[in-house]
Amino acid sequence: MPTTDSFRFQDFLQWPGGQVLSLDVLGWFLVPIATALLIWMGWRLLSAARRRRRPGDLFRQLSRTAGLSRSQRRTIRRIAIAESLASPISLMLAPSTLDHHVNRFLRRVQRPAARQRITEAAQAIHETIFDSPVAAPVKSR
C-alpha cells in the first residue's frame, strides 16, 4: 500500500495485467453521471414492476368508475375474501353472482344488526353497479 505522501488514485484502478486505468478530467464528470443514470434507470424499472403487480388497482379503478363509496368497496372486498374469490371484480360482473355470494356470506353472519347492515349495503351496491334494484330479495337466513 502506498504511503500518504505518494498516494495516487490510479493505484486503485489497475487492471489484472498491471495496466493503469487513468481518469482524465472528462472521466471525473462521466463516472458520477453514469452512476446516477444507472441508479435512476433501476429505480424506474423497479417502480414500474411494482405498479404492474398491484392487483387491487384495477378493482379500485373499476369501483370508482361505477360510483361505489369507500364503505361499499370495503364490503365487496370483505365478501370476496370470505367467499375465497380470486378478485372482488368477479362480484361486479353479474347481478346473480353478487346476489349468490351475498346470500352465502349472510348465512355465516350471526348478529342480526350486522346481517341487516350487510343486506342494506348489498342492495345499495346492486343498485349502484347494475342500475336496478335487487331482482330477488336478499335472504337473511
Summarize pLDDT for 74-105 with one digit per residue, the tens: 999 999 999 999 889 999 999 899 999 999 99
The pLDDT assigned to 3 comes to 52
Distance separating alpha carbons of residues 69 and 40, to the nearest angstrom: 37
Structurally, how many domains does the chain consist of?
A: 2
C-alpha to C-alpha distance for 48 and 139, rounded to whole angstroms: 44
Span 116-137, pLDDT tens digits: 999 999 999 999 998 876 655 5
Do 124 and 81 belong together in one domain? yes
Give the structural domain span for 104: 57-130
Q: Which residue has the higher pLDDT, 45 or 23?
A: 45
Residue 138 lies in a domain: no
In a domain, 104, yes or no: yes
Q: Which of 80, 76, 78, 49 is CA-nearest to residue 64? A: 76
Question: Are 80 and 97 part of one and the same domain?
Answer: yes
Asked if residue 39 and residue 63 are part of one domain, the reply reads: no
Look up residue 2 and give its DSSP letter.
-
- pLDDT higher than 80, residue 12: no
φ, ψ for residue 20 (rounded to 5)? -95, 130
The length of the chain in residues reads 141
Asked if 92 and 76 count as a contact pair (C-beta separation under 8 A), the reply is yes
Q: Tell me, what's the pLDDT at 6?
A: 52
Q: What is the pTM of this model?
A: 0.57
35 in any annotated domain = yes
* Residue 67 and residue 83 in one domain: yes
Least confident of 15-19, 25-29, 62-66, 100-104: 15-19
Residue 18 lies in a domain: yes
Task: Determine the Cα–Cα distance for residues 96 and 24; give it in Å rounded to an integer.
Answer: 73
Neighbours of 121 (CB within 10 A): 19
Mind listing the pLDDT tens digit for each residue in 22-37?
Answer: 666 566 778 888 899 9
